[in-house]
């Protein structure tokens, strides 16, 4: 029995080289211009911080540093995929870069805790305050340090700065520091079972124990100074509980669910 012959598959016309090259260049250009936003790139930037080699280097570095309030600095570049419609660093990118700054700070300042299997931290909130824009294609730095703490929470401060040369000084040592934004992170350290680690206890266990009464007094003075800036922020956080209160007055201006449903 003879089987019917299969008709030939029509050939797909090839794309002329004069068209294919520009298309390739266009795709490659889009790829490069958005390289920081490609899938997994955000996560891959954490790898150098959590690798054993980096942890070892951070540990050695930390042995030379006993200042609990030391600021750690990292440079960043405003690329195309960081821009908004006004062509400066977009609001979301501030938080994204703070993620990396915060992770690196913990690795640098508390390397021994970072490699413990029962170590974890939880972020309760992040606040951003903007002063002026960070222009496109500019280099900026994030300075991260401990601002203050209480019996549970630790507050980090992140300064977004750029540097410019002081025209009145011919040396490179004297530079103007321009503050563009300030961020606050509220975090807590946790054990594997979820139990909160008291900040003072955590500091003592990770190489920052005050050996003298004088050092204790100095640390407490710095903590109280930073706490004055946080008190107002804690008052603002009460707004969260207020918004969740189902017993609010029906005429409350925050009771806007009905208005939203009509839009």
Instruction: Count the Cβ atoms, other than its own, within 10 Å of residue 181.
Output: 21
Q: What is the pTM of this model?
A: 0.79
- Transcribe 111-149 into DSSP letters: HHHHT-TT-EEEEEEEEEEE-S--BTT-EEEEEEEEEEE
Average confidence (pLDDT) over 45-70: 72
Q: What is the per-residue pLDDT across 109-136, written as a single tens digit (0 to 9) for each?
A: 988 888 888 888 999 999 999 999 999 9
pLDDT at 172 (0 to 100): 54
Tell me the C-alpha distance between 160 and 200, whole Å. Answer: 28
**124, 153 in Cβ contact below 8 A?**
yes
- Percentage of the chain lying above the pLDDT 90 cut: 46
User: Which token pair is 124?
Assistant: 């309760």
- Percentage of the chain lying above the pLDDT 70 cut: 77
Question: Is the per-residue pLDDT at 1 higher than 60?
Answer: no
| Per-domain residue ranges of the chain | 18-241
Least confident of 25-39, 73-87, 214-228: 25-39
Tell me the C-alpha distance between 217 and 242, whole Å. Answer: 37
Tell me the C-alpha distance between 31 and 25, whole Å. Answer: 10
Instruction: Count the Cβ atoms, other than its own, within 10 Å of residue 108.
Output: 21
Average confidence (pLDDT) over 54-83: 81
Tell me the C-alpha distance between 81 and 74, whole Å. Answer: 19
Tell me the C-alpha distance between 182 and 13, whole Å. Answer: 57
Q: Measuring CA to CA, which residue among 151, 162, 42, 174 is closest to residue 97? A: 42
Q: φ and ψ at 74, to 5 degrees?
A: -140, 135
CATH of domain 18-241: 3.10.129.10
- Mean of per-residue pLDDT scores for the chain: 82
Question: Is the per-residue pLDDT at 187 higher than 60?
Answer: yes
């Amino acid at each position: 029995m003879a089987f019917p012959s299969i008709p030939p598959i029509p050939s797909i016309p090839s794309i002329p080289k004069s068209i294919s090259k520009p298309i390739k260049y266009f795709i490659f250009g889009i790829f490069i211009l958005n390289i920081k936003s490609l899938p997994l790139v955000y996560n891959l930037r954490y790898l150098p911080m959590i690798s054993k080699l980096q942890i070892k280097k951070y540990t050695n570095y930390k042995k030379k540093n006993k200042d609990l309030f030391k600021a750690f600095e990292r440079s960043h570049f405003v690329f195309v995929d960081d821009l908004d419609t006004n062509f400066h660093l977009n609001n979301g990118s501030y938080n994204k870069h703070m993620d990396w700054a915060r992770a690196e700070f913990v690795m640098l300042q508390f390397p021994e805790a970072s490699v413990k299997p029962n170590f974890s931290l939880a972020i309760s909130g992040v606040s951003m305050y903007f002063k002026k824009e960070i222009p496109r294609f500019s280099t900026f730095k994030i300075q991260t340090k401990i601002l203050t703490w209480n019996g549970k929470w630790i507050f980090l401060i992140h300064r977004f700065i750029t540097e410019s040369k002081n025209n009145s000084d011919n040396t490179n040592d004297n530079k103007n520091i321009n503050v563009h934004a300030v961020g606050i992170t509220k975090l807590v350290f946790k054990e594997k079972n979820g139990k909160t680690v008291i900040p003072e206890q955590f500091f003592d266990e990770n190489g920052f124990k005050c050996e003298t009464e004088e050092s204790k007094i100095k640390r407490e003075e710095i903590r109280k100074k930073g706490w004055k800036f946080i008190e107002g922020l804690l008052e603002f956080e009460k707004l969260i509980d207020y918004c969740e209160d189902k017993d609010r007055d029906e005429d409350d201006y925050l009771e806007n669910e009905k208005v939203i449903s009509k839009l």
